[in-house]
Structure 1
Amino acid sequence: MHQKGHIGASLLVYAPFGFVLSALTSVEMAFIGAAAVGSMAMVPDLDMKVPLVKHRGITHTVWFALVVGAVFGLTGALLGIQESILRGVLFGLLAFGFGTLTIISHLLADALTPMGVEPFAPLRDDNYTLDLFKAANPIANYAMLGLGGIVVAAAVVAGAALPV
């Protein structure tokens, strides 16, 4: 997938987190989270700009997703703990989840293409692909972006409507 498709995939995966954030904090916080996740959607493809790093290599693994999740989690905990320890733990866990899942969403979107991904490399070299469409398919990329935007907006609005 290309950028639009990856952003859409990250928003789809983020939608449950947006729902929770909207219900527990505010619509603004939920949309800030969506913007953060969307801005991170292309991080695994930074491997194309780093010499000697293979495209769809280490940055396209669950290990990389866990590292990104840990960075997000620590940031969320530090922001939340300013209010209370409980909120620090909650924000830390939510941030870890959507940081990790942002990268996983990238892998899932790439698994829709013929090239696929090897998410457990270097421990396992199994390649996962559904081979549904080429990464450059504009219809698939725009459809994923549109679907992600609609689903995350609906989740945030639904979360805000809850009487918490």
Structure 2
Amino acid sequence: MRYVALLRGINVGGKNKLPMALLRDALGKTSFYGVTTYIQSGNIVFNSDLKSAQCADIIRDLLKAEFDLAIPVIVKKQEVISDILKANPFKTRTIENSKFMSFGFLNESPAQEKVKVTEEFSNDMETFKIVDNVIYFYCGVGFGKTKMTNAWFEKKLGVTSTMRNYNTTLKLTEL
């Protein structure tokens, strides 16, 4: 099975430094194969015969043991990432300007009452839809200007999230 692992908070603002070459080497010593990384923000694509939860545990344990990093790891089948792109409710806007589209990958589906309350903050320029364990977020004001950050979504929804922009998400389906 081909998987995508998304590490939260890697190489951001000088925190949680993790060279991708060292990570690839360490993962090469596990049961994973065909391991590749994409850019410096903690994106791993690999093959494994294990279930996604087992893969997440292996990566989380490896990050702690080898790099002394205790960070969230979200693992999804690569085909699920493709399905998420296809299900994007903001496809028309994304085609017009993909730099304003991102996806929040959640470690679990948030409680529906929290989703309902959070979605009340959605507006024309910062619009989002939460479906199962994914946030589809079209941010027309730009991600540097919004108050709806990854941390904001985590606080509102009570779950762990890691965000990826449209181009990164698309690339992860192609590797």
TM-score by length of 1: 0.31
More helix by share: 1
More strand by share: 2
